[in-house]
Amino acid sequence: MTCYSKHTIDIRKFETGIMKKIVCLLVVVLEILSGVAFICAPANAARNELTLTPADADFLMLRDASLRGDIALAGRIADRLANYPIPSYVEYYRLYPRLISAPEGEIRAFMDKYAGTAIADRLRNDWLLLLGHAHIWRTFDEQYPLFTLNDDTQVKCYALLSRVNKRENVAKQARELLLQPNQYGVACAELIVNLYKEKYFNTDDVWHQIRLAAEYSQISLARRLASVTDATEKQLALAIDKPGSVIDRGIVAPRTSHELFIIALGRVARHEPAKSVKALNKVLNRLSAEEQSLAWAQIALQASLQLSRDAASYWSRTWGVQLSQDGYQWRARAALRAGDWSMVSKAISSMPPELQKDASWVYWHGRADKAQGRNEEAQKHFQSIASLSNFYGLLANEELGQKAMVSDKPVAPKSEELAEASNNPGFQHAFRFFDLGLRFEGNREWNWQLRRMNERQLLAAAEFARQSDVLDRMVTTADRARVELDFTHRYPAPHDDIMHTATQPMGLDKAWVYGLIRQESRFVKSARSNVGASGLMQIMPSTAKYVARKIGMVGFTLNNLNDTRTNITLGTQYLNMVLNNLGGSQTLATAAYNAGPGRPRMWRATLEKPIEGAIFAETIPFSETRNYVKSVLANATWYAALFENKPQSLKARLGYVMPGDANLPELGDLP
């Protein structure tokens, strides 16, 4: 028998208002995560559809009451679900809204009872946030090593804060962690302030974090951190909200004035880069060499995002100072776009070591070495990522003389291997959640089971997902394999009869369409994004109406948008319209499908000469679209290899992007 102390978290240690905010934050985070995947109807068409019972309806009501923080209602509903098939979630949703005041023994009992499960780890995450905020370090330090996923930046900040409380110098670890201000929350802000107060962070560290906060538009964070500097909240507010007045005033002697001026330069450069450049040139002789570099970096980043031809020149004045993660990468991207391979090498070599190891920069470092005649070094870079099947792995292999080719299928899973997968409790829970329309919870349960699976178990799990017609989990599972590679699991091609009918008359590349669907919806037919895009090809309602009208689709209503045939017909027709209007470039058309057709035209209009499709894709200023284009075209390359059974070139698919005039009436009225 396990013994527990009977005390609860002392609510008196919390400021009531702050704690309400934390509870709300936890609820909002879970709500957001629940919508990260797709809001969709039951996904298991190949299995017997679950008819929702009164108990299922109660479970959905319980979840809603819990996330809204309705303790009384959650308790009453949970009482009615004593025999529900997923008791761990019933107990979690009963406990979650009262986690602040629940006896510690009850929390521990839940985690002991469901040890090793996804939901126990989720509760530990919730509890660690509360323990960290309350500074109950003994319990926090005991629980933190047990947090399996350890994927919460705020929890990591509390872990470092606990060590600061013990007078440990964790400045190095903090600098490595504190890179994305949009993930900080209250925990990381408190960590930065305490590191400064304990003299583990200096003034340079704090101002670096304030600049980061301003760059990421985390204004409340910037104001919180400014409280430990000589800057007043009013001064910082002016630099962020009315930056033109700050740069017009120039700088005075105190360092604070210099820092605020640098921040204001970046804010003005978002809309008026020329004004920022002019203002900086006026005061250069009053800034130190380091301050000058930081100031140019503020302007250079915004110039890069606007694809200005001056961006590389601005970046060339920024060596030797600490940049943001985006800053380091856009310095290299600006050099790529300018065709300055020497600067590309220097920019990548100047990145933090972990960033240099990213496959993207390994590949481009190899390209820079090759362009400068360092062929042996280039080969080493390419070989180090050649085993990857992603965008950069494919490009690296082409540099090594090898195109994408599908390998032979592994030995099919045996009946006992499939039986093990079908009897996996986590997979059974996942299917139950999918039937209830709770895709986030289902994905969490499924993915939790994959963490410790060997190659054969992954292969069996992917095949089990295929037989159950849950193709998104099949793809996710197959992507984890490194040896037992079944490309029909990784790159499924369902609805081929519909796809052939839709693409063949237009001569549209079927591999490309499948590559796009794999990225858009992972073949979840009822997928719906948080902005309203629907179905396999994630079509927006306005686009669907436009295309249906253009092609004369009779009787179309938005209720038909998730119908497989209708969705594929409309999606392929629109994709073909975009392709034709963008000169036949799959690179541009893929970007247009994600970001709208007008933006790729504007990006192309900034070119002075033809540019490799890979460089164009790398320098797309929208991170979502940049990653989307890479993923879709890499997918399409593998699909083509699968369909045609012969080597395929990603480079050829990317092609070259030609300069164009953004004002030409090329797009017509395409939405």
Please tell me the number of Cα atoms within 13 Å of 578 on its side-chain side. Answer: 27
Is 43 found in the same domain as 123? Answer: yes
Asked whether the predicted pLDDT for residue 537 surpasses 70, the reply is yes
Distance CA 670, CA 568 (A): 18
Both tokens of 259, joined, read: 């820092």
Helices (H), 484-618: 487-490, 496-503, 510-520, 541-551, 564-581, 586-595, 598-605, 613-618
Asked whether the predicted pLDDT for residue 8 surpasses 90, the reply is no
Asked whether the predicted pLDDT for residue 3 surpasses 70, the reply is no
339 sits in the region (left: phi over 0; alpha: psi -120 to 50; else beta) called left
Span 350-356, mean pLDDT? 97
Confidence of residue 662 (pLDDT cuts 50, 70, 90): low
Is 213 found in the same domain as 79? Answer: no
Both tokens of 592, joined, read: 């247009």
Helix H or strand E segment including 610: none
Query: 87-126 in b/e burial notation, b at 16+ Cβ within 10 A?
Result: ebbbbbbbbbbbbbebebeebbebbeebeebbbbbbbbbb
Among 370, 386, 416, residue at a domain's last position: 370
pLDDT in tens, 540-555: 999 999 999 999 999 9
Helices (H), 227-358: 233-241, 243-249, 255-269, 273-283, 289-305, 311-315, 325-338, 341-349, 353-356
Q: How many domains, in total, are found in the chain?
A: 3
Is 209 found in the same domain as 95? Answer: no
Q: Is the residue at 450 inside a domain?
A: no
Kindly report the length of the chain. 671
Look at 1-15, 202-216, 379-393, 598-612 and tell me which has the smallest mean pLDDT. 1-15
pLDDT in tens, 102-145: 999 999 999 999 999 999 999 999 999 999 999 999 999 999 99
Query: Three-state DSSP class for 74?
Result: helix
Distance CA 365, CA 237 (A): 40
Distance CA 484, CA 492 (A): 16
Report pLDDT for 671.
Answer: 78
Q: Is the residue at 488 inside a domain?
A: no
Among 370, 389, 422, residue at a domain's last position: 370
Is 242 found in the same domain as 121? Answer: no
pLDDT in tens, 447-504: 999 999 999 999 999 999 999 999 999 999 999 999 999 999 999 999 999 999 999 9
Q: Is residue 573 packed enough to be buried (19+ CB in 10 Å), middle (13-18) or exposed (0-12)?
A: buried
Query: 45-55 in b/e burial notation, b at 16+ Cβ within 10 A?
Result: eeeeeeeeeee
From the list 522, 550, 639, 461, the residue with the least C-alpha distance to 37 is 522
pTM of the model: 0.92
Q: Is the residue at 398 inside a domain?
A: no
Do the Cβ atoms of 246 and 194 come closer than 8 Å? no
Distance CA 329, CA 399 (A): 22
Is 552 found in the same domain as 635? Answer: yes
Q: Which amino acid is at 18?
A: I
Asked whether the predicted pLDDT for residue 19 surpasses 60, the reply is no
Among 97, 123, 154, residue at a domain's last position: 154
Q: Which amino acid is at 276?
A: S
Report pLDDT for 28.
Answer: 41
Active site (annotated) includes residue 416: no
Domain of 360, in residue numbers:
197-370
Q: Is the residue at 302 inside a domain?
A: yes
Is 217 found in the same domain as 108? Answer: no
pLDDT in tens, 26-69: 444 443 333 333 334 333 433 445 578 999 999 999 999 999 99
Report pLDDT for 526.
Answer: 87
Q: Is the residue at 597 inside a domain?
A: yes
Is 633 found in the same domain as 531? Answer: yes
Is 639 found in the same domain as 582? Answer: yes
Residue 47: phi, psi to the nearest 5?
A: -100, 170
User: Rounded to 5, what percent of the chain is helix, strand, coil?
Assistant: 65, 0, 35
Q: What is the DSSP string of 199-228?
A: TSS-HHHHHHHHHHHHHTT-HHHHHHHHTT
Helix H or strand E segment including 612: strand 611-612
Annotated catalytic residue, options 463, 520, 624, 666: 520
End-to-end CA distance of the chain: 65
Is 233 found in the same domain as 128? Answer: no
Both tokens of 655, joined, read: 């092609």
Q: Is the residue at 238 inside a domain?
A: yes
CB count in 10 Å sphere of residue 179:
16
Q: Is the residue at 359 inside a domain?
A: yes
Do the Cβ atoms of 619 and 337 come closer than 8 Å? yes
CATH of residue 588: 1.10.530.10
Is 211 found in the same domain as 133? Answer: no
Of all residues in the chain, the percent with pLDDT exceeding 70 is 91
Is 227 found in the same domain as 105? Answer: no
Q: Is the residue at 420 inside a domain?
A: no
Of all residues in the chain, the percent with pLDDT exceeding 90 is 88
Report pLDDT for 582.
Answer: 93
Span 279-289, mean pLDDT? 96
CATH of residue 324: 1.25.20.10
Is 147 found in the same domain as 37? Answer: yes
Do the Cβ atoms of 582 and 660 come closer than 8 Å? no
Distance CA 111, CA 121 (A): 8
Confidence of residue 22 (pLDDT cuts 50, 70, 90): very low
